[in-house]
Amino acid sequence: MKIWFDMDGTIADLYGVNGWLEMLIAEDTTPYTVAKPLLNLSILARYLNKVQKMGHEIGIISWGSKNSTEDYLKKVACAKYHWLLKHLPSVNWDYVKITNYGVNKWETCRDGILFDDEEQNRTNWMNDSYAPCQILEILKNLAERA
């Protein structure tokens, strides 16, 4: 099974960065690099590594900024990769997909479960999908099945 995670508002607190919207409009990637984690990443990494060893694949499916240029989308993707490397260095992601804002995540991934803060993304997902508050509980349950 594949397990997909959104980043902004799900594992990274982009919206908690002071002035985040103005910076994104100005095509400044700072909010993506300085966002604080939204959950205990040590526990998350432990569960991710365990479920991956069990044969599950793990991935990121995250949007770039609304109305961004192609060049800014590349910079956002780079900033998100660096955030993952900084905050979850022990995790070896099977997939990291940073797409244009608003792209249907199901059509991009087509498989597995999704953790996402956006209700619309969860509704459009054709398999099980969950709110961020359920991440650790569900991963713990999966990890304990070993």
Q: What is the mean pLDDT of residues 21-34?
A: 97
Q: What DSSP element (H or E) covers 63?
A: strand 57-63
Q: Which domains can be identified in the chain, with CATH numbers?
A: 2-143 (3.40.50.1000)
User: What is the mean predicted confidence (pLDDT) over 14-36?
Assistant: 97
Provide, rounded to the nearest whole percent, the portion of the chain with pLDDT above 70.
99
Calpha distance 142→115 (Å, rounded): 14
Residue 145 binned pLDDT confidence (cut-offs 50, 70, 90)? confident
**CA dihedral in degrees (100, 80, 53, 47; nearest 10)?**
-110
Q: Strand 57-63 to strand 113-115: parallel, antiparallel, or no bridges (unpaired)? A: unpaired
Measured distance CA(75)–CA(28) in Å, rounded: 9
Pick the closest to residue 52 from 6, 104, 88 (CA basis).
Answer: 88
Does the pLDDT at position 146 exceed 80?
no
This prediction's pTM? 0.96
The gap from C-alpha 27 to its chain's centroid, in whole angstroms, comes to: 20
Q: Tens of pLDDT along 82-100?
A: 999 999 999 999 999 999 9
